[in-house]
Amino acid sequence: MKPELECASCLMTWLVERVAVSGRNNDCFDVVRSVSGMIRDKFYPSANIGSMANKSIEIAGRLITESAEHFQTIKTGNNQLAQRTLPVARNFVDNAETTEIGFHRACVLAAAGNVAPIGLPSGSFAFDEVENILKSENTFPVSREDIDNAVQGSSHVLYLTDNSGEIGFDSLVLAKLKEMGKTITLVVKDGHFFEDATLDDVSVFGLESIVDRILTVEGFFVPDEISAPLQEAFEESDLVVCKGTGNFEGLADETHGKNTIFMLKIKCGPIARKLGMEIGSFVVKLDP
């Protein structure tokens, strides 16, 4: 995604709030100076904001690892809260009249689970939006026909996950894709990465028994900067499912012509303007 002017300050705030929990004040000052220099050199209208976020994380280095304990407590709570809601969510999906309607419901719940704040999380995520959908059995509008056609015409799906907890609701989408006979490559973060889902969270929800292959990415998914195994999986896929703000920023405008379903909650002005929707809206949108 190409940046707007406010993306520079947002990127810096996003990183500073997260590395500050390491408690290494002097090192954090060094990181701020280095990231400021990177922004000075790389911040152009043609830049990829997801790529810039990845460069910021590289600069932060060991502070990311040292903040892991803080985020592990949050991640454990996220997963526990999602596990509490999942049985009802699974019934809501499985009791749909058709597989297509069930897939649509699963996508809506997965998008509604994308509630992690752009700012530093203060605690585990409450999945109130998911629970409200389950109580009312209403879903927000989705261009279902376009999504159905994209899924029906695909055989290899690349699924980019976002946060812990919400990856449990991704399992609903993954199960429906597998029911429709798709080959699925699941992508999670490698190692310590704030509140994002990793291989540990995959195991919590047993996703290894659903998908065909699991790969890891060191930051946000930016097609021109990924490792060879990820590049191969991206090239062979004919449908990409992209969760969350960071992956949207890395992949939007960079899909290389692949059908891509974006699922996220809109949390900032630039993404709201790009998608033509309001901040706070949940999105399940095909980018053909």
Write the DSSP assignment of 58-103 as a string of letters: HHHTHHHHHTHHHHHHHHHHHHHHHHHHHHHHHHHHHTSSSHHHHH
Return the percentage of the chain with pLDDT > 90, whole number. 85
Q: Give the mean pLDDT of 1-12.
A: 96
d(CA 253, CA 245): 14
pLDDT exceeds 80 at position 143: no
Q: Give the mean pLDDT of 146-175.
A: 96
Q: Give the mean pLDDT of 243-254.
A: 96
Q: Give the mean pLDDT of 223-230.
A: 95
* Phi, psi (rounded to 5 degrees) for 287: -105, 95
Strands of 213-217's sheet, edge to edge? Answer: 213-217, 183-189, 156-160, 239-243, 260-265, 282-287
d(CA 17, CA 73): 17
The answer to whether the beta carbons of residues 128 and 174 sit under 8 Å apart is no
Q: Is 213 helix (H, G, I), strand (E, B) or coil?
A: strand
Q: How many other CB atoms are found less than 10 A from the CB of residue 179?
A: 13
Q: Give the mean pLDDT of 60-85.
A: 91
How confident is the model over 125-138, as pLDDT tens digits? 999 999 999 999 88
Cα–Cα distances in angstroms (integers) from residue 84 to residues 74, 169, 207, in the given order: 16, 11, 17
Q: Give the mean pLDDT of 9-14.
A: 94
* Band of residue 144 on the pLDDT scale cut at 50, 70, 90: confident
The pairing of beta strand 239-243 with beta strand 282-287 = unpaired
The answer to whether the beta carbons of residues 266 and 281 sit under 8 Å apart is yes
Q: Considering the chain, what is the average pLDDT of its residues?
A: 94
* Band of residue 162 on the pLDDT scale cut at 50, 70, 90: very high
Query: What is the pLDDT at residue 129?
Result: 94
Return the percentage of the chain with pLDDT > 70, whole number. 100
Query: What is the pLDDT at residue 61?
Result: 87
Residue 195 makes CB contacts below 8 A (sequence gap 6+) with 71, 74, 75, 78, 116, 121, 163, 164
Q: Give the mean pLDDT of 46-70.
A: 91
How confident is the model over 163-178, as pLDDT tens digits? 999 999 999 999 999 9
Q: Give the mean pLDDT of 197-224.
A: 97
Give the closest residue to 115 by CA, choosing from 71, 189, 166, 168.
Answer: 166
Query: What is the pLDDT at residue 69?
Result: 85
pLDDT exceeds 80 at position 82: yes
Query: What is the pLDDT at residue 193?
Result: 86
* Phi, psi (rounded to 5 degrees) for 127: -95, 55
Burial group, residue 183, by CB count within 10 angstroms (0-12, 13-18, 19+): middle
Q: Give the mean pLDDT of 251-256.
A: 94
Query: What is the pLDDT at residue 118?
Result: 87
pLDDT exceeds 80 at position 106: yes
Query: What is the pLDDT at residue 253?
Result: 93
64-68, 160-164, 268-272: least confident range: 64-68
pLDDT exceeds 80 at position 215: yes
How confident is the model over 19-49, as pLDDT tens digits? 998 888 899 999 999 999 999 999 999 999 9
